């Protein structure tokens, strides 16, 4: 199975992020990644399907689990 086309932008200094994203798409049906450095977007990529027959778009919503555990643990300490 071939990887889906990757859309978006990636600053040349962050091509390794784009390469890792492409490798991840070998196992995922769709995904997105956005990284900011000092307030500037340096990586904004998306590819694949959000649902069968529905392409991933730049504004596709995704469920995220366990993102607050680290913040809560730090606050607790």
pLDDT: which is higher, 63 or 55: 55
Task: Determine, yes or no, domain membership for 1.
Answer: no
- Sorting pLDDT into bands at 50, 70 and 90, what band is 1? low
Q: Is the pLDDT of residue 47 over 80?
A: yes
DSSP annotation string for 18-76: HHHHHHHTTT-SEEEEEEEETTEEEEEEEEEEEETTEE--TT------S-SHHHHHHHH
Q: What mean pLDDT, rounded, does the chain reach?
A: 92
* Token pair recorded at residue 26: 């070998």
Q: How far apart are CA 62 and CA 33, in angstroms?
A: 11
Task: Determine, yes or no, domain membership for 31.
Answer: yes
Total length of the chain: 77
Number of domains in the chain: 1
Q: How far apart are CA 42 and CA 55, in angstroms?
A: 23
Predicted TM-score (pTM) of the model is 0.79
pLDDT tens-digit series, residues 22-42: 999 998 899 999 999 999 999
* Residues spanned by the domain of 51: 6-76
């Amino acid at each position: 199975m071939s990887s889906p086309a990757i859309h978006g932008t990636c600053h040349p200094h962050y091509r390794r992020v784009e390469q890792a994203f492409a490798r991840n798409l070998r196992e995922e049906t769709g995904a997105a990644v956005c990284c900011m450095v000092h307030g500037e977007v340096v990586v904004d990529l998306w590819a694949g399907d959000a649902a069968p027959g529905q392409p991933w778009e730049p504004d596709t919503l995704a469920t995220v689990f366990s993102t607050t555990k680290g913040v809560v643990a730090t606050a607790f300490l």
